Structure 1
Amino acid sequence: MKKQGREWWPQKLKMLSLSVAAVLTLIPSIAGQTVYLCGDSTMAPNGDGSGTGTDGWGQYVGQYLTLPISNQAIAGRSARSYTDEGRFTTVINDAKAGDFVVIEFGHNDGLSGTVDNGREDAFGDSLTVTSTVVETDGSTEVIHTFNFYMENAVNSLKAKGAIPIVSAQTPDNIWTGNVITAPPRFVPYAQEVAGNTSVIYIDHYDYVAQAYEAIGETTVNTFYPIDHTHTTPTGANIVAEAFVRGILCSSSTLKNFVNAAGKAVPNGCL
């Protein structure tokens, strides 16, 4: 029998490493990973909840992934109110090690005037900044910044072994010439949160803007039947596709669970 030379070992080791990689790729789905979605009406089922035909993008992203979706988004929420109502706590308690949790807020986080609306965050991005707001009954409450609420949620999820993904809010249907208007402050705030907590950041704002600008304002206007924030199912699907494009262009391991339809979504990396 001919004796195999030393060249056999590198080839055998290469085959073995490929086999191990294939097994490791399968393990997450066998373990039953879930993708949780935390956000507001732009992500939520039935959109703004008015029954006027709007829907959130979270309802459509599942068709592009091989993992199940648990859409925990709810209309009218901000990073603060989602925290205060215990919704982050529910997701943190339910999430298992290896689950993905996409967090996207900003539309409802702005200042509301002289009386607190229960959603506004303290102005700024510092974790130490607080603000005292007046409630409708005349009492006061100390509130924190967007970054404070977001970073607390992200760090708690990481402690559970979950995989948070911080996503920038989606743009409103407001144009300057042929382009979507510049993003509000909560977009760079979200990027700061991701950087401070060392998690993946998806610039959903710019990926949606890219998709909209390719389609054109006239058609995009048809995606917004009641205002400049809430989309039809057709528009929500465009927004979902833009999120998937952002995932594909990132280093997130969620890209391993994008199916053929997801890999075919339009536009390129920013």
Structure 2
Amino acid sequence: MLNSFLQQENKTRLFVIGDSTVKNGRGDGSNGQWGWGSFIANYFDQNKIEVRNQALGGTSTRTFYNNPKLWQQVLDNIRPGDYVIMQFGHNDSSPVVDTLRARGTLKGNGDEYEEVINPLLKQNEMVYSYGFYLRRFVKNIQDKGATAIICSPIPRNSWEGEKVRKSNYADWAKEAAIQSGAHFIPLQDLIISVYEKEGQQKVKSTYFGEKDATHTIKEGAELNAKLVANYLKSNSNIGLKKFLK
């Protein structure tokens, strides 16, 4: 019993953080929508690695990083040799200052900032760029002796003719990964490659349903998780290949 406990405690951990496209609601599909983080553990050998999906819907890089109940709790549990996959971007385009969420970040990957009065916190706040917060996550992870992996955000079901619209946030995520020495998964491009082969009508009916063009249903989340796992398997330099089934 003690040996089993120690093995569990010493097991490598993979933390997954992000927004509702990674974990929707409680992560159980209760509203018909799923994030890919709910299925990624299926590809790993649970005897070798523990997968923790700690993403939270509605968050941006800014709000996930700054909320002590979110990032700090993950960070406190990261040990040398662990891994963290992050995917943000959909909510970073929200307003920087509003009375609903106050979750937006500055566009880009620079070091610029804006001092604002956060109406929710009722205090001054320095707001940085999307890429800046990603790099800050990476620095924290690397300081703990763990491996950071940035995913570009999944694409929306949004088309121009036969092509899926791409997001600038994918470019900024890649830039942040290069600058910070993190690994990068071009998830947007991997998904778009599938979508454009299958066509707009099939994508809508198979992966999204009728609710909206951002959140996937189960089949869409399963596809995205499979693409992440396949990329990890094909890129052994990331280090997670040895934990895959």
Q: TM-score, normalised by structure 2?
A: 0.85
TM-superposed CA distance for 1:46, in Å, is 3.7
TM-superposed CA distance for 1:174, in Å, is 0.8
Aligned to 2:150: 166
TM-align CA RMSD: 2.5
Partners in 2 of 1:74 and 1:253 — Cα distance?
A: 25
Aligned to 2:53: 71
Aligned to 2:185: 202
Aligned partner of 1:56: which letter?
Answer: G
Partners in 1 of 2:143 and 2:20 — Cα distance?
A: 28
Larger Rg: 1
8 Å Cα contact 1:78-1:105 kept in structure 2: yes
CA deviation digits over 1:61-104, x for unaligned, max 9? Answer: 11112232100000000000001112222111101111110011
1:147 and 2:126 matched: no
SS at match of 2:81: coil
Unaligned 5+ runs, structure 1: 1-27, 260-270
SS at match of 1:38: strand
Partners in 1 of 2:80 and 2:29 — Cα distance?
A: 36
8 Å Cα contact 1:103-1:167 kept in structure 2: yes
Identity of aligned residues (%): 25
SS at match of 1:68: strand
CA deviation digits over 1:91-146, x for unaligned, max 9? Answer: 1110111111001100000142763632101233212x111345447865331111
Unaligned 5+ runs, structure 2: 1-6
SS at match of 2:240: helix
Aligned to 1:43: 22
SS at match of 1:101: strand
Q: TM-score, normalised by structure 1?
A: 0.77
8 Å Cα contact 1:170-1:208 kept in structure 2: yes
TM-superposed CA distance for 1:149, in Å, is 1.4
8 Å Cα contact 2:108-2:169 kept in structure 1: no
Aligned to 2:67: 85
How many residue pairs are counted as aligned between the two chains? Answer: 230
SS at match of 1:211: helix
Partners in 2 of 1:49 and 1:134 — Cα distance?
A: 36
